[in-house]
Amino acid sequence: MKKILVLIVLLCLLALFGFSKDSSHKKFQLEVISGLPTLNPEDLNANANIFKQIVKFWYEDRYDYYKKVEYIQSYETKKGGKFRTIKTALPLGLRFKYFVFQPLALSLGVKYFARRAKSNFSHTTTISENDGTQVLYRREYSPFTLSAEAFISFLEIEKRFLLYTLGVAAYNLIEFFLLLFHLNV
């Protein structure tokens, strides 16, 4: 939270003192960019979902089956905590803009974002075997860490109109340039 507050204060100071009032004669411009996107949790949170399913199978479904086929007398399960997932991340980036002529600009930039979710989860199973013996299994995930981090490069062509700006961007240029380099070698 402190990092976000420092970032907001820094961006406000840059906005107030870092840019000149008359930007109509500039050919080059350096911009700090940010936003608050929501991330697609389907792939990102797959690891946490897999662990949930493993725990359900290994400590619940398996013992249901053992009880059904009379391999054990009974079992009892206790869970604590949960697996946290990632939903948002705060990107921060720099964009270098070159005005070809006043309403048309080319930009080259990079964005960085990172997010981490730490969880504590425990699972205790007490099994009563057929001979009356009690067996205790305890599994603890502490901490279970899920993280995402990325550098995203982009190239943008931008046209300014009176009340709005229209831009077209191509992302992940580093991978694209590496692919071109690899194909040309």
Average pLDDT over residues 9-27: 56
The gap between the terminal CA atoms of the chain, to the nearest Å, is 46
The boundaries of the domain holding residue 165 are: 2-184
The pLDDT value given to residue 27 = 82
Encode pLDDT of 63-105 as tens digits: 899 999 988 899 998 888 887 877 777 788 888 888 888 788 8
When divided into structural domains, the chain yields a total of 1
**pLDDT(6) > 70:** no
The pLDDT value given to residue 14 = 55
The pLDDT value given to residue 65 = 92
| Reported confidence tier of residue 4, pLDDT bands at 50, 70, 90 | low
Tokens of 71: 């391999």
Encode pLDDT of 41-52 as tens digits: 566 677 777 878
The mean-pLDDT minimum among 99-113, 147-161, 162-176 falls in: 162-176
| Reported confidence tier of residue 11, pLDDT bands at 50, 70, 90 | low
The pLDDT value given to residue 184 = 39
| Reported confidence tier of residue 111, pLDDT bands at 50, 70, 90 | confident
Mean pLDDT, the chain, rounded, equals 76
Q: What percent of the chain has pLDDT over 90?
A: 4
Encode pLDDT of 129-143 as tens digits: 988 899 998 888 788
